[in-house]
Amino acid sequence: MRNEVQLIAYADRFGGDLPGLADVLRTDLAGAFGGVHILPFFTPYDGADAGFDPVDHTAVDPRLGGWADVQDIARTHEVMVDLIVNHVSSESAAFQDVRERGAASPHWPLFMTMSTVFPDGAREAELARIYRPRPGLPFTPYRLGGELRFVWTTFTPQQIDIDIRSEHGHGYLLSILDAVAAAGVRLVRLDAVGYAVKTAGTTCFMTPETFDFISSFAALARERGIEVLVEVHSYYRRQLEIAERVDLVYDFALPPLVLHALYTGDGVALTRWLRERPRNAITVLDTHDGIGVIDVGPDQTVEPGEEPRPGLLTPEQVDELVEGIHTHSGGTSRLATGAAASNLDLYQVNCTFYDALGAHDTRYLAARVIQLLTPGVPQIYYVGALATGNDVDLLQRTGVGRDINRHHYDRAEITEQTKRPVVRSLLALCAWRNALPAFDGDVEATLDGSVLTLTRRGAAVPSAWASAEVDLGSGAVSLRWDGPAGAGATDDLLAAPPAV
């Protein structure tokens, strides 16, 4: 995988369809992104969870294009796609057949009920141990073949969990791998994989059996020339453990730590994390989901009687961070978070990263500089690439909290937004990082008062280096660099973005 900045985008919301997304990448955003994570484009892309509840995971929704269009994007940009291993849509043909025929359906082994994991029933204590990112138990009553059963639904009643350890489930996942490999995809993101393996008597989240599944599945992916990115929101030490056993892992601790540092001028927690975080990471500040906070807080899965495990931030700092997001966004993020917007995720605040920083251009670019100088492959969400604020109108129309951060752009709007100085500067920063061979080595991170200094030095080209001084109190950035094309410097990213 190339160590260049990647875009995260929905094809329908950022270009209209797959050919439209390809055109945006090659024109308005030319040079800024070497890869793209195309959010679910499977049939249907506009289901109950914006494509994360596929009816047919092997088919491109014809309203967006076809596999040939994915192949076309892969000609010029590395492509990452989602492999939704935990569930399928309740509207899928397979589950509909199970609803009609019950155990007589050939698809019966694909889906999980409570009795799949607890064939002899479960005690209250066993059910209470199950970890879920939303309140309540992960079961929904459905009539299957006329019999009322408790179907396993980790996320919503419309997302039916599959039994990945069954022969049917294994074959289903292989069919998806083969489809994306044939389209030239070289990176897959295992969505919600932490919940995919259920084992009685455990939390059913990131258990040893889950790690075994990830390892075996990654081996199958590598046979097809595909790397695997694991998507798990969890306690930070668990992320360190996960990183040792997978190709790539998200650095979900970075976004809240960057916000905490820029809110308070205190970079101690951020600097500590920069020194110990995994290097085989995808760095993000924003994604299609909310801004995670569980990743920096205390361990939420501590068993009764165990010692509490502190996080990178204290519970009080986490509370202040959440309130800070609401304050900086003018209260709009509060409208989109929790029960207020039918969004009951326990670990996320719905807000664009730009609004989380009060739509302050200087601080926003400072945050991106920290991201781009942090080891790993950076990904920037399409709303963040255009430094856009919260879409309250869309939230009010749909009542879905995450939609506040999922704006629909038409092509004219994309072109117009790229003319704004903050966007021009961000795209220039991305192109600068892609061109300067200084980002394959580690980072030197030092803190002097409120000034964080990050320095990267090339491994393959040792003479190449880049260094940024970020004043966390004011957001001011001084950037210096040198490389094969020459040296450069800027103390004003808005007026003089970097170039190589």
- Give the active site residues: 191, 231
Here the tokens at position 353 are 């990263």
In the block, which residue shows the tokens 């326990």?
A: 346
Instruction: Tell me if residue 488 falls in helix, strand or coil.
Output: strand
DSSP secondary structure of 404-424: GG---B-HHHHHHHTTSHHHH
Dist CA 145 CA 128 (whole Å): 29
d(CA 191, CA 180): 15
Please enumerate in sequence order all residues whose Cβ is within 8 A of that of 414, keeping only pairs 6 or more positions apart, or say none.
Answer: 14, 15, 24, 28, 386
Pairing type for strands 227-230 and 78-84 reads unpaired
Cα(366)–Cα(473) distance, integer angstroms:
11
The DSSP element (H or E) to which 37 belongs, if any, is strand 35-38
Q: What is the DSSP secondary-structure string of 434-476? A: HHSTT-SS-EEEEEETTEEEEEEE-SSSTT-EEEEEEETTT--
Cβ neighbourhood burial of 298 (10 Å; 0-12, 13-18, 19+):
middle
Distance (Å, rounded) from C-alpha 168 to C-alpha 363? 50
Question: What secondary structure does DSSP assign to 279-320, as a single string?
Answer: SSEEE-S--SS-EE-TTTS--TTPPTTSPP---SS-HHHHHH
